[in-house]
Amino acid sequence: MASFQSIMKKYPSLLVILLNFQTLLALYEDQVGKFDWKRSFIGKVKYAHFDASRIIVGTEENIIASLNMKNGNILWRQLMENPKEQQLMLLHSDRDLLSVSGTMNNWFVRTWDHQTGTLLSEWTIFSDKNIPSVFTVEKGTLLHIFPTQNSHLDVVTYNLDGNNQKNTIKIPAPWITDISNCVLSKSYYICISKNDISGQLYYVNILSEKPKVYIKTLHSVLGDTPDLIEILPFEDIFPAFLLSSNGQAKVIHVDEDVVNTKIFKVMPNAVSNHNGEKPFIYQLEPASNPDKLVQIRVKDYATCQDEMATELEYPVGLGAPIIIATATKNTLTDVLLSTTDNAFMLVRLSDGKIMWTREEALSNIIAVEFFELPVSELDASIENEFKASSNSILSMLSHRLNTQAKQLSTLIFGEHPMSSSGLVRDAFGLHKLIVVATSVGKLFAIDTLSGSIVWSYRLPNVKPFSILGEDKILLFAQRTARYAPLPAQCILIANDKYSGNGVIFQFDPITGYSQKGIEKLNYQIAQAIHLPYEDDQHLKPVLMISSTNEVYLYPSCAMGEVYKYTSKLYTYLVDNTGSFKGYSFIHSTKDKLKMTPSWELQLQPAKLVAVKTKHPNERVHSQGRVLPDRSVYYKYVNPNLIAVATVSDDPVHKHVLSVYLIDGVTGLILYATSHKRSRGPIHLVHSENWIVYSYFNERFRRTEFAAAELYEGHVQSNSSVFSSFAVSLLPHVQTQSYILPATPLSVTVTLTERGITNKFLLAGLSGGGVIEIPWLLLQPRLNDIPCSPEESCIPYMPEIPLPSEAVINYNQTIGRIDGIEVAPARLESTSHILVHGIDLFYTKVAPSKTFDMLKEDFDHMMIILVLTGLVISSYLTKYLASKKALKQMWK
C-alpha cells in the first residue's frame, strides 16, 4: 500500500509532465540523417587561395571557408557579420590567414588558423571618412588607402607583427578623377586620368621613403588606340595592371620610373601563375571547337607566346566563368573558376577536366515550391483505362490486354524504373521534388529523399522583385503531376534585369523542360494572383496586374473559364507608402478583364512591414473549440482575411507596431491592435482563425510573441457558406502575448493535407536552430474558463519554453536562416520542411506524432506469430475441451 501511495503522490505531476511533453518529438541517435539532410554552402566566391591540399575562400556572403581540393567539401567555415551590412574586403594568406571585413567606416581585422579555421586574433579599425577605401598587405604591413577624389591619398599602415603599430601618411594626388579608374597593385597606387589615349598614367609607390608620383602619357605606354581604355587589376608577383581596350588587354609592369609593357595582348580576364617551373598566363576564351563552350589558353609569361589551349568539359547550364586563382604542383595546374550564376569549380589542366562544381546559387534561395511526383507508367495506363477517351470496345479490349501483359511482366521481372531518374510517386507522398529559385535567377529541382539536384536551369538577365524589402521571385504550380498524361506545369514570374518589365518562364517541374523558354512581357508586374479555378486542361491560370492596372491572364485562353468567376474575384494592391487598395473585377467583359477599385485604406505615415494571407491550400478541419462545459466556441474562419503589420515612428513611443486584420473583399478592419515602443523585425504568421507575430519590445529589450484568435461565438452565423458581405457579428478576439527567449529570423506554421493534425509553429532562431513550438502553448487562454491538464489546456506561462528536444535540426546548425517552407505530405500527420539560408536543411515533422503510420521498428514477425499462435491455440483448446467434456461425461 505504501508503494501505491507514493505512486499516487507522483501521479498528478506525472500527468502534467506527460501533457507538456506529449507534443515534443526527439530523434534517436540512429535516426540522424534518416529523414533529413543538410547541404552547406558558402556563397559566391570572391577570393581564393591554394594552401597545400586545401583551398581557402572568401565570399560575398562575408564567409571564409576552407575546401577540400579533392571533392570541394567544406573543411571548415566561419560566418562573419551580416553581408547586407558588412563585406569582406581582403583575404590574405600568409603564415596565418588574414581577413578584413566591414562597412564604410568600421572594419574587423582577423587572423585565422589555416588548418582549423580557429580565430587567432581580432582587432578593429575605425575611420570617420565616409569614402570607399581599399586594403592590401605588403611586406608585413596592412595598408589601408583612402583615395579622395581630386585631392589626396590617405594611407594608414599597420604593422602586423603583433603590436599593430599605426602610421599615417598623406600623399597629394589631385590626379584621382574617378576611383573606378584606379587600381592597387602591391604597394603601387595606379590611376589613369581619362579613358582614352589622351589620358595620363599616374602611379605612386606608397611604401617608398618619399612617395613620388610618376606621370606617363597613355600614348607612350600603349601606342595609338582609338578605343576606350580601361584599367584593370592583374595578379602578379610584381606591381602590374592591365590596360584594356576593345576586349584585349596589355599587361603593364611598373617599377619606380620604369614602365614595362608586355608586348603581347591578353584577354581582360587573364591571370598569372608563378608556382610552376616556368611562369604562365592563363586566360579564358570561347572555345574554337563548336561542341565545347570554353577553353583555357596558356601563354608563356616571359615570351608571351601561346603555349597551348585546353578545351574544358564545360557544362551547358552554367553561366560565364572567370578565373579566381591558379596553382601548379608538379606538372598539374589547378584553376578555380567562378561563374555568373555563382557556381564555383576546380578545373585540372592539362586535360581540362572539371574536378568538382559547387552550386553556390543555392545559398540564396528566394522562392520554393514542392511538387508531387508523377505516378509510374503502369499506374498511369491503368488510370487511363477508366477515362472516357477510348470508347470503342475493341480498343478498350486491346488496352486492357496490353496493361495486363505489362502488369504480368512487372510481376515476373520486377518493377523497371519509369524514367532514368526513377522519380515516381510513393504511396504516402513522402517523396517530392522541391523546385527552388535563387536570387541569381537559377532554378534547381531537389529530390527530397537524397537532397541531390535533379535538374537546374539558368535564367539569364532575371532580377527578383523587391516586396516589402525582401527579394522575391514568384513560383506558381499551375498543374500538378496528378493529371497524367498531361505533364505538371509550373510558372515563374520575375523581372527583367535591364528593362524592369516582367518575364515569365513556364516549365515542367519534374523534368525542367520548358516548351517556350523565357517570355518577356511588355509591362511591369504589380501583382500576380494564382487563381483557384482550373480550365479544361487542368491548368490554374495566373492573373497578372501591370503597374498601370491593366489585367493580363496567363494562359490567355483561360479567359472564358475565368470570366465565369469575375463576380467573385477580388484582389488588393499594396505599395511601400502605406496605401492599401482593394479591387473587384465586376466590370470585366468576355474578352478583357478590368479592375475596379472597391475599397481603400490609408495607413500613412506608418510603413508597411508585413502582409500575410492564409496559405491557399490550408484546410480547417475543426469548426470550433470544445469548451470544458461541452459547448462549442465557433471559430471565425474568413478565407478573405489579410493580416497587415505596420511600424510607425512616434515622437513619444519611438516606434509603434500596429497589426490589422482586414477583410480582403470589403476592406473592413476586423481587428486592430498596437504595441507601443515595439519595432521590427516583424514575423507574421496567419493560419486558420489566428495570427501570431513576433516583434522586438524596446521597453523591456526582448523579443515577444503575440497571438490573436478570432471566434464567432457560441452560435455559428452561417454554417454552409461564408460571405464577407454578410457581417452579422464582429468576431470576438482573444489575445495573449509571450516572451521568446531567443531571436527569431523566420517563423512559419506547419501545414497538413486535411488540417486534422495539431499545428506547430516553426521558428528559425539566430543561433542556427529551428525550434517547434506547439500552437497549444501560444493559443490564447479564455479568461473565464479554467485551464488545467484535465481540460487539455496548458496553463499560461509568460515565457515560451525552448527545450533542446524541440530543435528539429538537432545539432546541425543552419547558417543565417532566411526562410522556412512547409508543404503537406499525403500522409495527414506529416509536413515537409525546407529551411534555407546559407545552408539547406530538409526534414519531415509530425506535430501529432505519426498517428497514421506504423512505427518503423514495428515488429511484423511478432504480430504474425502471435496471431497464428492464438488461432492454433484456440483450435487446440477447443479440441482439448471437447475431449475433456467427453471424459467427464463418461465419469
Partner 1 sequence: MLCYLSAFLVISLNVQKSYSSNIEYDGSVTIRLQHALVASEDPVFTDRGNVTVHSLRLGQATINQRPLSPDEQLQLRDLAAKNHFYQLKSIVTANDGSQKTFLSTVKACMLAESELDDRLSVSIDYMGRVIAVTSIIASKSTCEGAVVSLEKLKHFTTSVYVRHTEPGPIPDTASYIQKLEREREAKEKGEVKDNRSFLAKYWMYIVPLVIIMVVSSATNPDAQQGSQ
Binding flag, residue 603, partner 1 (CB under 8 A): yes
Contacting partner 1 (CB under 8 A), which of 32, 232, 626, 672?
A: 672
In the bound state with partner 1, the residue whose beta carbon lies nearer, of 194 and 655, is 655
In the bound state with partner 1, the residue whose beta carbon lies nearer, of 4 and 28, is 4
Min dist. Cβ of residue 890 to partner 1 (A): 14
**3 state DSSP class of 509:** coil
Contacting partner 1 (CB under 8 A), which of 518, 659, 762, 840?
A: 659
In the bound state with partner 1, the residue whose beta carbon lies nearer, of 524 and 673, is 673
Min dist. Cβ of residue 657 to partner 1 (A): 8
Under a CB-based contact definition with an 8 Å cutoff, are residues 178 and 162 in contact? no
Q: Which residue has the cell 566561419?
A: 78
Burial class (CB in 10 A: 0-12, 13-18, 19+), 709: buried
* Beta strand ranges found along 399-524 (DSSP E): 432-438, 442-447, 453-458, 462-463, 465-467, 470-472, 474-479, 489-496, 502-507, 518-520
Under a CB-based contact definition with an 8 Å cutoff, are residues 173 and 152 in contact? yes
Residue 804 sits at φ, ψ, to 5 deg, of -70, -20
Binding flag, residue 340, partner 1 (CB under 8 A): no
In order of 214, 694, 795, the CA distances from 778 in angstroms are 71, 12, 10
Binding flag, residue 597, partner 1 (CB under 8 A): yes
Contacting partner 1 (CB under 8 A), which of 389, 522, 811, 888?
A: 888
Min dist. Cβ of residue 287 to partner 1 (A): 58
Taking contact as CB under 8 A, which single stretch among the options 444-452, 491-499, 530-538, 596-604 is the one that binds partner 1? 596-604
Binding flag, residue 587, partner 1 (CB under 8 A): yes
Distance, in Å, from the CA atom of 512 to the CA atom of 492, rounded to the nearest integer, reads 12
Taking contact as CB under 8 A, which single stretch among the options 132-140, 358-366, 394-402, 662-670 is the one that binds partner 1? 662-670
Contacting partner 1 (CB under 8 A), which of 62, 181, 339, 658?
A: 658
Burial class (CB in 10 A: 0-12, 13-18, 19+), 180: exposed
Min dist. Cβ of residue 714 to partner 1 (A): 11
Taking contact as CB under 8 A, which single stretch among the options 31-39, 189-197, 664-672, 821-829 is the one that binds partner 1? 664-672
Taking contact as CB under 8 A, which single stretch among the options 306-314, 393-401, 719-727, 785-793 is the one that binds partner 1? 719-727
Grid cell at residue 787: 485551464
Binding flag, residue 668, partner 1 (CB under 8 A): yes
In the bound state with partner 1, the residue whose beta carbon lies nearer, of 331 and 888, is 888
E strand or H helix at 876: helix 860-890
Say which amino acid occupies 798. Answer: P
Contacting partner 1 (CB under 8 A), which of 402, 596, 788, 804?
A: 596
Binding flag, residue 80, partner 1 (CB under 8 A): no
Contacting partner 1 (CB under 8 A), which of 2, 4, 52, 392?
A: 4
Say which amino acid occupies 857. Answer: D
Going 843 to 849 to 854 to 856, the CA torsion angle's sign is positive
Which residues are CB-contacts of 386 (< 8 A; sequence separation ≥ 6)? none
In order of 6, 709, 780, 794, 853, the CA distances from 625 in angstroms are 36, 11, 12, 15, 26
In the bound state with partner 1, the residue whose beta carbon lies nearer, of 461 and 666, is 666
Min dist. Cβ of residue 799 to partner 1 (A): 8
Q: How many residues bind partner 1 (CB under 8 A)?
A: 56
Residues in the chain: 891
Contacting partner 1 (CB under 8 A), which of 671, 775, 841, 842?
A: 671
CB neighbourhood size of 622 (10 A): 12
In the bound state with partner 1, the residue whose beta carbon lies nearer, of 332 and 729, is 729
Q: Residue 427: how many CA atoms within 13 Å on its side-chain side?
A: 2
Taking contact as CB under 8 A, which single stretch among the options 318-326, 501-509, 667-675, 759-767 is the one that binds partner 1? 667-675
In the bound state with partner 1, the residue whose beta carbon lies nearer, of 600 and 791, is 600
Contacting partner 1 (CB under 8 A), which of 2, 3, 8, 857?
A: 8
Min dist. Cβ of residue 195 to partner 1 (A): 52
In the bound state with partner 1, the residue whose beta carbon lies nearer, of 403 and 579, is 579
Binding flag, residue 675, partner 1 (CB under 8 A): yes
In the bound state with partner 1, the residue whose beta carbon lies nearer, of 203 and 695, is 695
813, 815, 820, 826 alpha-carbon torsion, rounded to 10°? -50
Binding flag, residue 783, partner 1 (CB under 8 A): no
Taking contact as CB under 8 A, which single stretch among the options 259-267, 334-342, 470-478, 668-676 is the one that binds partner 1? 668-676
Under a CB-based contact definition with an 8 Å cutoff, are residues 346 and 336 in contact? yes
Grid cell at residue 562: 475565368
Distance, in Å, from the CA atom of 885 to the CA atom of 85, rounded to the nearest integer, reads 91
Of 424, 480, 442, nearest in space to 617 by CA:
480
Among positions 790-849, residues that touch partner 1 (CB under 8 A) are 796-799
In order of 611, 671, 711, the CA distances from 705 in angstroms are 17, 17, 20
Write the DSSP symbol of residue 758.
Answer: P
Under a CB-based contact definition with an 8 Å cutoff, are residues 624 and 635 in contact? yes
In the bound state with partner 1, the residue whose beta carbon lies nearer, of 357 and 666, is 666
Binding flag, residue 566, partner 1 (CB under 8 A): no
Binding flag, residue 656, partner 1 (CB under 8 A): yes
Distance, in Å, from the CA atom of 861 to the CA atom of 531, rounded to the nearest integer, reads 50
Binding flag, residue 669, partner 1 (CB under 8 A): yes
Grid cell at residue 73: 567539401
Binding flag, residue 736, partner 1 (CB under 8 A): yes
In the bound state with partner 1, the residue whose beta carbon lies nearer, of 73 and 596, is 596
Which residues are CB-contacts of 886 (< 8 A; sequence separation ≥ 6)? none
Distance of CA 885 to the CA centre of its chain: 76
Grid cell at residue 48: 581564393
Under a CB-based contact definition with an 8 Å cutoff, are residues 347 and 293 in contact? no
Distance, in Å, from the CA atom of 12 to the CA atom of 188, rounded to the nearest integer, reads 78
Binding flag, residue 386, partner 1 (CB under 8 A): no
Binding flag, residue 584, partner 1 (CB under 8 A): yes
876, 882, 885, 891 alpha-carbon torsion, rounded to 10°? -100
Binding flag, residue 606, partner 1 (CB under 8 A): yes
In the bound state with partner 1, the residue whose beta carbon lies nearer, of 104 and 787, is 787
Min dist. Cβ of residue 716 to partner 1 (A): 10
In the bound state with partner 1, the residue whose beta carbon lies nearer, of 372 and 709, is 709
Taking contact as CB under 8 A, which single stretch among the options 370-378, 428-436, 471-479, 722-730 is the one that binds partner 1? 722-730
Contacting partner 1 (CB under 8 A), which of 484, 529, 739, 787?
A: 739
x/- letters, 680..709, toward partner 1 (CB under 8 A): ------------------------x-x---
Min dist. Cβ of residue 23 to partner 1 (A): 21
Say which amino acid occupies 179. Answer: I
Going 128 to 130 to 131 to 136, the CA torsion angle's sign is positive
In order of 97, 137, 155, the CA distances from 63 in angstroms are 13, 19, 27
Binding flag, residue 598, partner 1 (CB under 8 A): yes
Binding flag, residue 786, partner 1 (CB under 8 A): no
Of 664, 705, 680, 695, nearest in space to 581 by CA:
664
In the bound state with partner 1, the residue whose beta carbon lies nearer, of 860 and 891, is 891
Min dist. Cβ of residue 745 to partner 1 (A): 21
Provide the binding-site residues for partner 1, judged by CB under 8 A.
Answer: 4, 8, 567, 584, 586-587, 594, 596-603, 606, 650, 656-660, 666-669, 671-676, 678, 704, 706, 717-718, 721, 723, 725-730, 733, 735-739, 796-799, 888
